[in-house]
Chain A
Amino acid sequence: MHHLDPDRLVLLALSDEPGLDESDHLDGCAACRHDLAALRDVAGIGAELQDLRDLPAPPEHVWSAIESEIAGPARRRRPRRLVPAMAAAVAAVVAVAGAVAFFRAPAEQVVARATLTPLATVPAGAGGSVRVLADGQMRIEVRNLPLTTGFHEVWLIDPDDLTRMVALGNLGDRPDEVLPVPAGVDMNRYSLVDVSDEPHDGDATHSGRSLLRGTLTS
């Protein structure tokens, strides 16, 4: 007994009606029946594919949320103390800052700014803005942050390695806050501003629950 020709099976699956002798063969041959059924299924699925070309990507905030989630556990490696090199840099800059302060540099000169947008899990009305001034102060304004039983903390994160971050301080009840950026922190590297929800659990590392994020640009 000859099986049906593979090209013929494909044609039968796509459109053609089997002839009489082909029907007879199919009646008696489980292998050809099986192949034909599978090819018909594939052809049926194939006919539905037109709408699936160029599917829209999910909105970008979905990725931001994924990024912040996967960085969560790894963040528990935040160093408790500044590494010596950074401490030395801080000391040096503090000395320079003392000298500069004498000349009263224009405090309102903005060296970098960021717009903070809510992550996927946060109500869309939340947001904020950040300005970093020439004197190393960060002015941060936030609005509509979700209520928390803990507190909100501000971080600078390295977007290329989300385990690297610097804690800047907490937000109080006011909608705006001024936080000092530790001198020596390279804001070109730590360019991602992050506001997180931190529980009062005595753990100084990032909780992994980011609420707002934005990238500093000069």
Chain B
Amino acid sequence: MDSDDELASRLRGGDERALRAAYDRHGAAVFYLAQRLLGNRADAEDVTQLTFVAAWTGRDGYDPQRGTMLGWLLGIARRKAVDRMRSAARDDRVTETVRAHLVPPDGRETPERVVDRLVVADEMGRLPEEQRRTLELAFFDDLTHHQIAAVTGLPLGTVKSHIRRGMANLRRRWEVDGAPSGSRSVGPTRAL
């Protein structure tokens, strides 16, 4: 699997296959975000298409030093989804602002939250297998360190270090690539 760096340089060189590789890797996440934001499949398909076309035309603007390709693509997708909501609002002569669309009144998730989930999920997928599995047991099954050690047969110390490192990796990625949020301060992080 090519790194983001390799993919980015192929993309900048005008290699259409690099766009296809990015689409194969991240198309599902972009599509998921668009569906969550727009709530209908046809618009989500359009926004997915617009996102990758914009990624192609704006490929010189992607800098792997500043974030992952997924983070970049999700940023484009959010903007395209917002554009789509604006034009829908215009079409419908709806007086609500786009902001009202973006902050669901019934307490549903915000776009920021969906982006956060997607980047953290992507990072989960990049963790070493045992680290990922250990974290899943902690997240999804709500198991304690001791229970995880019992289930997996790993020594308690190993479970602890998997979870500590895994959490640190997810946190780092989230702080780099997560949706910008006013309330979140990216302060100095102690080494974990």
Contacts and interface: CB of A to CB of B under 8 A. Distances in A.
B125 to A, nearest CB: 8
Given A63-B23, A66-B23, A66-B52, A10 B163 contact: yes
User: Which 3 pairs between the two chains have the least Cβ-Cβ distance?
Assistant: A55-B28, A46-B139, A58-B31
B171 interface: yes
Task: Indicate the size class of the contact surface on chain A.
Answer: 35 or more
A38 B184 CA distance: 9
B177 interface: no
A13 B167 contact: yes
Interface in B83-131: 113, 116-118, 120-121, 124
B178 to A, nearest CB: 8
A179 B179 CA distance: 53
Q: What's the interface size class on B, roughly?
A: 35 or more
B167 A70 contact: no
Given A70-B56, A162-B16, A52 B23 contact: no
B49 A65 contact: yes
A28 interface: no
Interface of B: 16, 19-20, 23-24, 27-32, 44-46, 48-49, 52-53, 56-57, 113, 116-118, 120-121, 124, 135, 138-140, 142, 144-145, 160, 163-164, 167, 170-171, 174-175, 184-185, 187-190, 192
Contact of B46 (A14, A63, A71, A120): A120
Nearest to A11: B145
B16 A49 contact: no
Contact of A39 (B49, B52, B171): B171
Nearest to A70: B56
B167 A35 contact: no
Given A38-B175, A41-B174, A58 B48 contact: yes
A67 B20 CA distance: 9
Interface of A: 3, 6-7, 9-11, 13-15, 31, 34-35, 38-39, 41-43, 45-50, 52-53, 55-59, 61-63, 65-67, 69-71, 120-121, 162
A70 B19 contact: yes
Nearest to B140: A50
A69 B188 CA distance: 44
A189 to B, nearest CB: 17
29 contacts: A6-B190, A10-B164, A13-B167, A15-B142, A31-B188, A34-B185, A34-B187, A35-B189, A35-B192, A45-B116, A45-B170, A46-B124, A50-B139, A52-B117, A52-B118, A52-B121, A55-B28, A56-B31, A57-B28, A57-B31, A58-B27, A66-B19, A66-B52, A66-B53, A66-B56, A69-B49, A69-B56, A70-B57, A71-B16
